[in-house]
């Protein structure tokens, strides 16, 4: 069903109406693999049929959606919430006034100081929102079309090239592991250490760790096989030496059903990515390792960097990390400085010949 673009009595309410429609559209199109409360999802869908009174009420619904396992909703809603909070100050009388220049002006304010990765999330959310409006609005004179593409938004430094990721070198990884083994977690020490070590020793994404169920783990001689539920509802298998995690395997004995998630909290729900990243940040802090980005993804980069450095096999890196494209894996070749050392020797030879 399509609706008039300015469907409420004022601009603010019209924006809230469309944000509610877009939020409902996204929660029913994102993956529901981790959904643990279908009844609550139904109730939220019903509530979204009525325009919330304010952005805070809509924000609370978005948080409930995230808490019941609809992964990725924050990527879309949080930028749009910030956008709404800014655009209402412009005192507009119609959504039809919004154009690309105005959107860029608002983005310049709300994304100041953010990383390029965060800015890309804002771009994705806002472009998707206006595409949704294009497909769903219809007035007496036809649909209004927003030409919001943000191709020339200068907030993204597209010409600067791909930024090299943060990672630990081999000595730092050894120090990190030593500190992790000695770290005194307040609770569930084996659970926390097992999750962190799996990330570091296999390079899998933190959300892939959190999706692991007991049935996804099997043992063969000295190897542990992990069946990973990856991006795009695809699966792959990674292996690790059982001796690397042997001290923490008693934790698995308390998990009863094969379909149970392995890494859960007190509420029997899967741990969050933010929780795992905080654990890792605390260990890094105690180890005295300082990085610009200290979260779980840095461990993935560390594994990939070490793997390429040791094996010089880009296809192996691609397979191990589950990259869809080999080009994504190429970034780890930038850390291979063997050829750069040859260049340094050539320069040294020039000096010796003089």
Catalytic residue of the set 21, 205, 211, 248: 205
Active-site entry in 81, 191, 193, 300? 300
> Catalytic residue among 2, 42, 157, 231, which?
231
Domains of the chain with CATH codes: 11-160 (no CATH), 170-339 (1.10.443.10)
Residue count of the chain, please give it. 354
3-state secondary structure of 139: strand
SS3 of 229, please?
A: strand
Q: Which two tokens stand for residue 246?
A: 């042997």
Q: Is 89 an annotated catalytic residue? A: no
Active site residue 122: no
The reply to whether 297 belongs to the active site is yes
Q: Is 332 a catalytic residue?
A: yes
Q: Is residue 205 annotated as part of the catalytic site, yes or no? A: yes
Is 0.75 surpassed by the pTM of this model? Answer: no
Tell me, yes or no, if 3 is annotated catalytic. Answer: no
- Give the CA radius of gyration of the chain: 24
Per-residue pLDDT of the chain (354 residues; tens, 9 = 90+): 788 888 877 899 999 999 999 999 998 888 777 777 889 989 999 999 888 889 999 999 999 988 888 878 888 999 999 999 999 998 888 898 898 889 999 998 899 888 888 888 999 999 999 999 999 988 876 788 888 988 877 665 544 445 667 888 899 999 999 999 999 998 899 999 999 999 999 988 888 898 899 999 999 889 999 998 876 667 888 888 999 999 998 888 888 778 888 998 887 888 888 889 889 999 999 999 988 777 788 898 888 888 888 777 777 778 777 777 676 667 666 655 665 566 566 666 665 554
Catalytic residue among 76, 84, 167, 332: 332
Query: What is the 3-class SS of 235-280, one letter each residue?
Result: EEEEEEEHHHCHHHHHHHHHCCCCCCECCECCCCCECCHHHHHHHH
**Active-site pick, 82, 119, 197, 323:** 323
Which one from 26, 297, 301, 308 is the annotated catalytic residue? 297
Of 339, 331, 337, the C-alpha closest to 304 is 331
Instruction: Return d(Cα 242, Cα 227) in angstroms, integer.
Output: 15
Bridge partners, 3 (sequence order):
137
């Amino acid at each position: 069903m399509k609706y008039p673009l300015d469907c409420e009595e004022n601009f603010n309410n019209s924006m809230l109406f469309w944000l509610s429609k877009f939020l409902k559209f996204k929660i029913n199109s994102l993956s529901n693999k981790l959904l643990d409360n279908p009844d609550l999802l139904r109730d939220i869908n019903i509530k979204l049929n009525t325009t919330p009174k304010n952005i805070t009420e809509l924000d609370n619904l978005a948080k409930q959606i995230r808490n019941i396992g609809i992964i990725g909703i924050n990527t879309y809603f949080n930028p749009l919430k910030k956008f709404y909070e800014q655009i209402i100050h412009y005192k507009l009388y119609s959504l039809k006034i919004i154009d690309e220049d105005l959107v860029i002006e608002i983005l310049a304010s709300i994304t100041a100081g953010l990383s390029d990765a965060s800015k890309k999330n804002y771009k994705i959310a806002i472009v998707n929102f206006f595409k949704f409006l294009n497909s769903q609005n219809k007035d007496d004179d036809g649909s209004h079309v927003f030409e919001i593409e943000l191709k020339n938004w200068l907030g993204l430094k597209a010409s600067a090239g791909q930024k090299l990721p943060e990672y630990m070198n081999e000595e730092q990884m050894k120090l990190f592991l030593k500190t992790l083994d000695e770290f005194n977690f307040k609770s569930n020490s084996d659970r926390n250490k097992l999750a962190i070590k799996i990330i570091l020793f296999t390079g899998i994404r933190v959300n892939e760790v959190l999706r692991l169920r007991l049935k996804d783990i099997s043992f063969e001689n000295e190897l542990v096989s992990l069946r990973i539920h990856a991006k795009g509802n695809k699966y792959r298998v990674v292996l690790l030496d059982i001796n690397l995690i042997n001290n923490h395997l008693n934790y698995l004995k308390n998990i009863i059903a094969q379909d149970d998630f392995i890494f859960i909290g007190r509420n029997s729900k899967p741990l969050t990515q933010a929780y795992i990243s905080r654990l890792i940040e605390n260990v890094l802090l105690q180890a005295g390792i300082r990085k610009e980005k200290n979260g779980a993804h840095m461990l993935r980069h560390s594994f990939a960097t070490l793997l390429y450095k040791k094996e010089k096999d880009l296809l192996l890196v691609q397979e191990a990390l589950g990259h869809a494209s080999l080009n994504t894996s190429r970034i780890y070749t930038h850390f291979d400085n063997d050829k750069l050392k040859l260049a340094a020797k050539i320069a040294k030879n020039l000096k010796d010949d003089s």
